Structure 1
């Protein structure tokens, strides 16, 4: 289990009844989480007096009930890294705090590489990993198909005082981008990917993680340099175990480049109970 335990601006205060009580800076939100199948031990006033509560709809989706006035967006920090937070209409806030466990790891790898490092961040969302890699001194290419998320990532880079760093933001279909990089002969020292469980490309192409991840991973190995630094895969797909990511990295990265693999769950500490909230899995290959 890799636990993001160094946060000061974020906290999982309590969990139960399919929900988590979270502090984002000074704002407290109550959001659903499918992993939380235990009851609330004590539904204190804090559970009821939140700033916002996201209610799931029985027909899918849901909506926010705002109980207190909050800014349209606000900023939280993870050490020197800064991020805009905004409740979206699909329950997310623009950041996955558990990923801080990966940010710290990749920053150490980049800083200690002793050479310039180029990073490709695929399915890059609002750029948590992009900000971390840029701060550590890497040049970064950030690719996501959603224009709004790419803009949000640009704002996070500016917010962190990294506008002068070599970061390219590309709004594109990730698979087509990788294929074009193959044809152009462009290479990277490290690749980060956070693939969705399911998705559609611009021409109706379907992505289903169980069918598409392995061939896509094989494609990505062809755009790595001869001396790559790391490959990181994150997954939130239910039913995929860390051992699956370990096996795929063994068959692709380790067979081609040697190195070592680690895989496991990723999580966040729960303040009230002292337990760990599981938040997905990761697989890491490193030289």
Structure 2
């Protein structure tokens, strides 16, 4: 497992009963997590003394029960990177802290490359990877279909003091954008993607990860440079094995570029138990 174990402003304090207890800076939140199928030993103390508790509804969705007054948003730091945090209506806070394991890896790859690196961040959300890549010195193109998420990413870049870095923010359908880049002949040394489990393509076609990821990955080969640095695939789709991502990268990247491939779970340490909480999977190709 790739564990993001070097946070100071974030912590999974405890887990149990389908929930996790987290510290985001000075704010304590209680949120559901489908991976936590073990019982909660003691629903008292810090578990009760939280700022906010997200309750999932039996009919779908859910709502926040705010126990203490919170600002609309606040910020946390990961080394020199800074991010705005805000509890959203769909449980999330605008950041997936386990991704710090990938941020550290890509920052090292970019900093050690000794050449200009152009990074394409697809399904880029609020820009954690964008901020990390820009900090390491890469040119970045950030693409997400949600205008609000792109704006949030711009604010994270500014919060980190990186507004002067060469980053392009694009609100667009990811599939359409990749097709246009193919026609334009634009190339990248690195591609990051975090595709959804389900969605709609540019012409209304259904995106289902199990059926669509491989052809989409193949299409991305056409916009890689002759000497790429890395390809990173993240997935939070239940039932997909890390070996699936490894196999796809072995069938697409390795025949053309050689290099090495790694894959596995990505997770976070749990302070009270000393265990690790699985949060998703990743597949990495690197030169």
**What are the residue-to-residue correspondences of 1:204-223 with 2, within 5 Å?**
204-223=204-223
1:183 equivalent in alignment to 2:169: no
Which residue number in structure 2 is paired with residue 108 of structure 1? 108
SS at match of 1:228: coil
Local SS of the residue matching 2:204 = coil
Instruction: Please give the secondary structure, in 2, of the residue aligned with 1:134.
Output: helix
Q: Does 1:74 align with 2:79?
A: no
Shift in Å, 1:43 = 2.0
Q: How does 1:262-281 map to 2 (within 5 A)?
A: 262-281=262-281
- Cα distance between partner residues in 2 of 1:225 and 1:171: 23
C-alpha distance in 2 between matches for 1:100 and 1:253: 24
Residue 23 in 1 paired to residue 23 in 2? yes
Please say if 1:239 is aligned against 2:239: yes
Q: CA deviation at 1:173?
A: 0.4
Give secondary structure in 2 for the equivalent of 1:20: strand
In the TM superposition, residue 255 of structure 1 has moved relative to its aligned partner by: 1.1
Could you give the per-residue CA deviations for residues 209-267 of structure 1, whole angstroms, max 9, x where no partner exists? 00000000000011000000000000000000000000000000011100000000000
Deviation of 1:201 after TM superposition, in Å, equals: 3.6
- Which SS does the other structure have where 1:182 is aligned? helix
Q: Deviations over 1:65-105 (max 9, x none)?
A: 00000010000000000000000000000000000000000
Structure 1 segments unaligned to the other structure (5+ residues): none
Structure 2 counterpart of 1:149: 149
Moved more, 190-199 or 201-210: 201-210
Return the offset for 1:45. Answer: 1.4
Give how far 1:202 is off.
5.4
Alpha-carbon offset, residue 203 of structure 1 = 4.5
1:135-180 CA-to-partner distances (Å, cap 9, x unmatched) read 0000000000000000000000000000000000000000010000
Partner residue in 1 for 2:7: 7
- 2-structure distance, mates of 1:27, 1:206: 39
Return 5+ residue gaps in structure 2 as ranges: none
Q: How far apart, CA to CA, are the structure 1 residues paired with 2:198 and 2:51?
A: 32
The within-5 A match list for 1:183-202 is 183-201=183-201
The aligned residue for residue 132 of structure 2 is: 132
Q: Is the 8 A contact 2:176 2:202 kept in 1?
A: no
CA shift, 1:42, in A, is: 1.9
Runs of 4+ deviating beyond 3 Å: none
- Decide whether the 8 Å contact of 2:182 with 2:223 is kept in 1: yes
> Is contact 2:13-2:272 (8 Å) kept?
yes
Structure-2 residue corresponding to 1:52: 52
| TM-score calculated relative to the size of structure 1 | 0.99
CA distance in 1, matches of 2:206, 2:98: 28
Instruction: Give the aligned CA root-mean-square deviation in angstroms.
Output: 0.7
C-alpha displacement of 1:205? 2.5
